[in-house]
Amino acid sequence: MTPEAYYRQILETTSNGILVISRACEILEINRNAMAMFNIDDVRAIGKPIADVLPDGPREALIRIVEETFDEGFALNEEIAYWEETGIEIELGISGSLIVSDTGQPLATVICRDMTAKRELERLRKMDQLKSDYVNKVAHELRNPLTTIQAYSETAASMIEGEPKEFLGTVEDECNRMLSLIKEMLNISRLESGKLKLTLSEVDFGALVVQCVEQVRSHSDQHTLSLDSPAQLPKAKIDEDKIKEVVLNLLENAVKYSPEGGEIRVVVTAQDQMLSIAVSDCGIGIESEHLRHLFEKFYRVDSPGTRGIPGTGLGLAITKGIVDAHAGSIQVDSEVGQGTTFTVELPAVPATTQAPSNREP
C-alpha cells in the first residue's frame, strides 16, 4: 500500500468530517463524512471555493473558522446549528488548525464533529432525570395519606365486628399493597440516583432470616417453609432493614411464583467470612433465556405461568442493588416446572465498612 493510500484510509475511516482548505479558501481535501455532513455529493468539489460548495446553513460559520485559523494559527471548537433542506436540525462542533503543505504553504485543517447524537443523549438523560424526580415526589406525597388511611382502618376495624370489620380489613390490605408499591418506587429512584446509603451495624443474620421466614409463613398457609441454618453464625456488618428487604423479597417471590403451593427451602451457610442464603421453591421455574434479564428493572417474564401473578418487575432490581451495595452477589438457578433457587452471598464484614457508614437522608 502506498503511503498516500494508507493515509487516505485513515482519513476516510474517522468518524469526523475533515476538510483541508487553502489560503484562497478552496477545498483541497474533503473526506466522505464531511461530504455527508454538508450534503456535497460531487467529488469535483475539490479545487472549488468553499463559498460555492457549502450549503447556506453552515457556510458563513465555516468561512469564519477558516479565516480565524489562518489569522490565529488555530480556531477553538465552535458549536453551530442549522436546518438542513430535509428539515432536520444538524449540530456540529467545528475546530481548525494549521498545517504546512509540501511546498511550504500554510493550509487550514477543519475538523467537524456531529453533536446531534450527543445533544439527543443529553436531552434524554434530562428527561429521565425529570421523570425520576417526578416519580420520587409523587411517591413521597402518596405515602403519608395512605399511611393515615391504613392506620385509621386498622383502629376502626379493632372497634367493630362482623361484615364492616371485613370491609375495613380489605381497605387495610389494599393500603398495604399500595404502600409496598410506593416503597418499591422510592427504592428504585434512590438506587438510580445513587442515593442508596447503607446504615451498617452488627446484625445476627440467623435471627434476621428466622424473622423473615416467620413473617412470610404467617400469611402463606399453602406453602411449607423450612429453614436450615447453623446454630453459630458470625455477626454480619450489614444494613439490617435492607437485607431484610432482600430476604423477604426472595421469600415472597418463592411464594408468589409457586401458585400451587409446596415446599420453600431456606438454607443459610457461613464459610470464610461469607454468609450465604439460598431460597428454593418448587414453583413454575424460569426459562433460561430470561435468567440474565431478571435483575433489570421492570423486567417480568411473560408466560402462561406468570399471567395473573401481580408484580412490577422492580423487586429483583432493588434486591440486586442492595446486595451489590454490600459488595455481595446474587445468583439464580432454575428449571421450568421444577422450581427456582436464588442464592445471595454477603461478606460478613464488607470492605465498605472500612469507611464510616452513612445514614440515609
The residues of the shown chain that bind ligand ADP, judged by CB under 6 A, are 253-254, 257, 281, 283-284, 286, 294, 299-301, 306, 311-317, 340
Nearest approach in angstroms of CB 264 to ligand ADP is 9
Phi-psi region of 344 (alpha: psi -120 to 50; beta: other; left: phi over 0): beta
Q: Between 241 and 335, whose beta carbon lies closer to ligand ADP? A: 335
In the structure, how many helices (H) and strands (E) does the chain have?
Answer: 10, 12
Q: Between 61 and 332, whose beta carbon lies closer to ligand ADP? A: 332
Q: Between 317 and 323, whose beta carbon lies closer to ligand ADP? A: 317
Q: Residue 314 and residue 223: Cα distance in Å, rounded?
A: 24
Nearest approach in angstroms of CB 212 to ligand ADP is 15
Q: Between 27 and 254, whose beta carbon lies closer to ligand ADP? A: 254
What are 163's three cell numbers?
A: 361484615
Nearest approach in angstroms of CB 285 to ligand ADP is 6
Q: Between 111 and 284, whose beta carbon lies closer to ligand ADP? A: 284
Q: For the chain, how big is the Rg over CA atoms in Å?
A: 32
Q: Between 9 and 180, whose beta carbon lies closer to ligand ADP? A: 180
Which residue of the chain is nearest ligand ADP when measured via CB?
A: 311
3-state secondary structure 118-144: HHHHHHHHHHHHHHHHHHHHHHHHHHH
174 three-class SS: helix
The amino acid sitting at 356 is P
Gap between the terminal Cα atoms of the chain: 64
Nearest approach in angstroms of CB 194 to ligand ADP is 20
β 223-228/262-271 pair status: parallel
210: buried, middle or exposed (CB in 10 Å: 19+, 13-18, 0-12)? middle
Nearest approach in angstroms of CB 230 to ligand ADP is 24
- Kindly report the CA angle at 323 between 318 and 328, in degrees rounded to 5? 160
Nearest approach in angstroms of CB 218 to ligand ADP is 19
Helix axes 240-256, 205-217, angle to 10 degrees: 40
Nearest approach in angstroms of CB 280 to ligand ADP is 9
238 three-class SS: strand
Q: Between 39 and 306, whose beta carbon lies closer to ligand ADP? A: 306
Nearest approach in angstroms of CB 45 to ligand ADP is 56
Q: Between 314 and 322, whose beta carbon lies closer to ligand ADP? A: 314
Please name every residue paired with 270 in a beta bridge, in sequence order, or none if there are none: 275
Question: Cβ distance 100 to 22 under 8 Å?
Answer: no
Please name every residue paired with 341 in a beta bridge, in sequence order, or none if there are none: 280, 333
